[in-house]
Amino acid sequence: MKPRNLKRIAFATSLGGLVTVSVAADLAPLPQPKFNTAMAEMGRFLFFDERLSGDAGLSCATCHNPQKGWSDGLPLSKGYPASEYFRNSPTLLNSGFKKRFMWDGRLDGADMGTLVRDMITEAHTMNMDGRLMQERLKQVPEYNAMWLKFRKDDINGMRVFNVVGEFVRSVNSKNAPIDRFLKGDQGALNGTQRAGYELFKGKAGCVACHNGPLGSDGNLHRTGVPENPAVTSEPLRHITMARYYATSGLPNYMMTHDDVGFQAISKNPKDKGKFATPSIRDLKYTAPYMHNGMLKTLDEVVDFYDKGGGSGAELKPLNLGDSEKRALVAFLESLSGDPVVVDKPKLPAYKVRAFGKN
Ligand code: HEC
Ligand code: HEC
């Protein structure tokens, strides 16, 4: 095993000391999701409800569409009307298990409520005022009834974010061949896929960053994916990026025409071009790939790594043969579960509350 595939794990002993050991990093089976069923059920309605956006024109499902792998199938995400986004819309499958959210890793994976608040209130996604959202939802009798199944108070804006988050936590893939294999069913992967797994852990070195249940170390790395030219040539995307840099406080941001990734958060020039390692589950449904959708297929992804990534990457060329590349792609496909499709529910209508109860 190559030393870079080792990770250090600390655990407490029964005598109170702390022991650190090095173990080989590997993929792990997907755990069972934990969520509150009544909250997730209301969250399912809110996820599809356009009234959560300022102009009542788009919902979470607009950009995280269950029919499109819980993403939108586009290289770069759309935005709130009159804006376009400068990054790819990530899949929501299994995102409850993420250690960090967003391509630049700016949000803690443990804080789903904050993430949902940002999605709903940010000018470039749903551009919604939190108080307006609260008052809109209170005038839907069915939503009040759903709320009372898990809380005794009135619908409250801040808690609505957690309700949507609870639904997101419930969106998990099932029955991926890799999980059956990792649990001991040798036949779950065919010979080509097993060869691909050996390359993944060995010669190709993927497991150094892609490990754990999601195939993500939850860290930031520079792989040198080329810039998507649309971010500079399409004014609406460029405006969103500049506004994002202005908000995050990136020094001299008007001089920056690239997506600097984690640098916008840390403000450290050494972090330019670093992005969070994404999950590599369910890739079958989530093309195109990378933070800016620049790689269209898994063949392109493997070719990219074979060349040692792009400029400035912390990677080395792999010198894989054609059959090795095919095996690696076949293995990546075995990390996809059955399609997870949730249909848009029939949304309940507004009805003004009785006098004295608004
Ligand atoms: C206009 C498109 C759009 C809408 C609407 C939208 N999102 Fe997103 N979402 C994105 C994009 C783009 C990102 C990645 C942003 C980045 O990395 O800079 C993202 C990121 C996320 C992530 C983090 C995933 C990860 O792997 O890091 C979650 C979870 C999420 N959105 C949930 C939601 C929820 C829940 C809603 C509805 C309340 C919602 N989104 C509405 C486009 C959208
Ligand atoms: C040094 C850490 C590192 C190594 C090694 C690595 N990756 Fe990645 N991988 C990343 C990061 C970071 C990204 C996101 C890059 C971006 O969006 O700009 C990524 C993105 C991906 C994606 C796209 C996922 C998506 O949803 O868009 C795939 C697929 C992938 N890697 C497969 C592999 C394979 C196969 C290997 C081995 C040949 C490998 N990676 C080696 C860090 C790494």
For 233-242, the pLDDT digits (tens) are 999 999 999 9
Residues 6+ apart with CB under 8 A from 355: none
Distance 298 CA to ligand 2 centre (A): 11
Round to whole Å and give the CA distance between 68 and 91. Answer: 9
Q: CA-based angle 121:348:125, to the nearest 5?
A: 20
pLDDT over threshold 60, residue 12: no
User: Averaged over 8-29, what is the pLDDT?
Assistant: 67
Please work out whether the CB of residue 285 comes within 6 Å of at least one atom of ligand 2. Answer: no
Please work out whether the CB of residue 85 comes within 6 Å of at least one atom of ligand 2. Answer: no
Distance 300 CA to ligand 2 centre (A): 12
Choice from 60, 99, 119 to test ligand 1 binding pocket (greatest atom count within 8 A of CB): 119
Residues 6+ apart with CB under 8 A from 111: none
Higher pLDDT, 9 or 107: 107
Residue-wise pLDDT tens digits, 204-223: 999 999 999 999 999 999 99
Higher pLDDT, 65 or 21: 65
Q: Which amino acid is at 154?
A: D
Distance 89 CA to ligand 1 centre (A): 6
Round to whole Å and give the CA distance between 294 and 333. Answer: 19
The atom number, within ligand 2, closest to the CA of 220 reads 12
Confidence category of residue 355, pLDDT binned at 50, 70, 90: confident
Residue-wise pLDDT tens digits, 295-309: 999 999 999 999 999
Q: How far apart are the first and last CA of the chain?
A: 65
Distance 64 CA to ligand 1 centre (A): 7
